[in-house]
C-alpha cells in the first residue's frame, strides 16, 4: 500500500510495497513518483492518477489496472482510490491510496477467519476474501452464482458494519489481518 499526496508524490509505503518498489520489476519509486517500467503501463498509471488526485474542484474517481512484469511473473494488480475526507498523515495530506495486489505472492485468506475476526456473515466474508484476491464484483457474482446487485448488497452491508465506504478500504482491512493468528477454539 502506498499513500500519495495531492501532487502524486509518495508520502509513505508499507513494507510490502517498499520491497516491491525496491525490486523495480514492474513499478518503481523515481524521485518520489510512482512509475511503471513498461511505457504503456506507465501511461495508463498516469491517467489513473490524474483521475484519482483532486485538481481544483474536479470530480475524482477510483481506478484499477494490471501492471505487466518484464520478468514474466504474474502481473501486479493496482487499485487507486482518492482519499476525499480530511486525512492527515503527519504534515502532509494524503490524497490517494494505492493498493498493490501481487498475484505472484497472494496471501491465503480464510473467509471463516474473516467472519470471526471482522464480524461478517459467511457471504460477506467470502466477498471480502474474493475482493482481496483481486476479483471484480462481476467475477465474484459469476463464481458465487449471484447477481452483481447481490454482491454489491453484501459490500454495502460490510461498509455499514465496518464503517468503511470503498472496496479498497475493505481490501486494506482484510490485508491487515494477514498473519494474525486465528483465535483459539
pLDDT of amino acid 120? 95
Of the spans 12-16, 94-98, 133-137, 141-145, which averages the highest pLDDT? 141-145
CA–CA separation, 123 and 115 (whole Å): 9
Q: How many CB atoms lie within 10 A of CB 100?
A: 21
pLDDT of amino acid 45? 94
Share of the chain above pLDDT 90, in %: 34
| Residue where a domain stops, chosen among 105, 121, 139 | 105
Once rounded to an integer, what is the mean pLDDT over residues 103-129?
87
Of 7-21, 50-64, 115-129, least confident by mean pLDDT is 50-64
pLDDT, tens digit (0-9, with 9 covering 90-100), for 75-103: 888 888 888 655 445 545 788 888 887 76
Considering the domain architecture, whether residues 96 and 122 belong to the same structural domain is answered as no
Considering the domain architecture, whether residues 71 and 128 belong to the same structural domain is answered as no
More confident residue, 93 or 151: 151
pLDDT of amino acid 185? 46
Mean pLDDT of the chain: 84
Considering the domain architecture, whether residues 93 and 34 belong to the same structural domain is answered as yes
Q: Is residue 29 a contact partner of residue 37, using CB atoms and an 8 Å limit? A: no
DSSP 9: B
More confident residue, 60 or 42: 42
Task: Evaluate whether residue 47 is within a structural domain.
Answer: yes
Considering the domain architecture, whether residues 56 and 138 belong to the same structural domain is answered as no
Domain that holds residue 145: 111-176
Residue 108: pLDDT above 80? no
How many domains does the chain contain in total?
A: 2
Considering the domain architecture, whether residues 98 and 157 belong to the same structural domain is answered as no
CA–CA separation, 12 and 92 (whole Å): 10
Task: Evaluate whether residue 184 is within a structural domain.
Answer: no
- Identify the CATH number of the domain in which residue 62 sits: 3.30.450
Considering the domain architecture, whether residues 46 and 13 belong to the same structural domain is answered as yes
DSSP 116: H
Task: Evaluate whether residue 143 is within a structural domain.
Answer: yes
Considering the domain architecture, whether residues 18 and 85 belong to the same structural domain is answered as yes
Once rounded to an integer, what is the mean pLDDT over residues 43-57?
85
Task: Evaluate whether residue 181 is within a structural domain.
Answer: no
CA–CA separation, 55 and 47 (whole Å): 13
| Residue where a domain stops, chosen among 105, 134, 150 | 105
CA–CA separation, 97 and 108 (whole Å): 23
CA–CA separation, 2 and 70 (whole Å): 22
Considering the domain architecture, whether residues 62 and 120 belong to the same structural domain is answered as no
- Identify the CATH number of the domain in which residue 120 sits: 1.10.10.10
Considering the domain architecture, whether residues 163 and 80 belong to the same structural domain is answered as no
Residue 141: pLDDT above 90? yes
Considering the domain architecture, whether residues 48 and 99 belong to the same structural domain is answered as yes
Considering the domain architecture, whether residues 87 and 160 belong to the same structural domain is answered as no
pLDDT of amino acid 148? 95
| Residue where a domain stops, chosen among 74, 105, 136 | 105
More confident residue, 87 or 145: 145
Q: Is residue 103 a contact partner of residue 134, using CB atoms and an 8 Å limit? A: yes
Pairing mode of beta strands 76-82, 63-67: antiparallel
Amino acid at each position: 500500500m502506498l499513500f500519495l499526496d495531492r501532487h502524486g508524490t509518495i508520502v509513505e509505503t508499507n513494507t510490502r510495497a517498499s520491497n516491491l518498489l525496491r525490486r523495480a520489476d514492474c513499478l518503481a519509486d523515481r524521485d518520489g513518483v510512482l512509475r511503471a517500467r513498461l511505457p504503456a503501463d506507465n501511461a495508463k498509471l498516469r491517467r489513473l492518477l490524474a483521475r484519482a488526485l483532486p485538481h481544483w474542484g474536479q470530480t475524482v474517481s477510483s481506478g484499477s489496472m494490471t501492471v505487466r512484469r518484464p520478468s514474466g511473473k504474474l502481473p501486479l494488480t493496482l487499485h487507486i482510490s482518492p482519499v476525499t475526507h480530511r486525512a492527515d498523515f503527519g504534515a502532509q495530506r494524503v490524497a490517494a491510496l494505492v493498493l498493490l495486489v501481487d498475484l505472484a505472492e497472494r496471501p491465503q485468506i480464510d473467509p471463516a477467519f474473516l467472519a470471526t475476526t471482522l464480524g461478517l456473515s459467511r457471504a460477506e466474508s467470502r466477498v471480502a476474501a474474493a475482493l482481496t484476491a483481486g476479483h471484480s464484483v462481476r467475477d465474484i457474482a459469476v463464481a458465487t452464482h449471484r447477481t452483481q446487485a447481490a454482491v454489491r448488497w453484501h459490500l454495502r452491508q460490510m461498509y455499514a458494519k465496518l464503517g468503511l465506504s470503498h472496496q479498497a478500504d475493505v481490501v486494506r482491512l482484510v490485508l491487515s489481518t494477514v498473519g494474525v493468528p486465528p483465535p483459539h477454539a
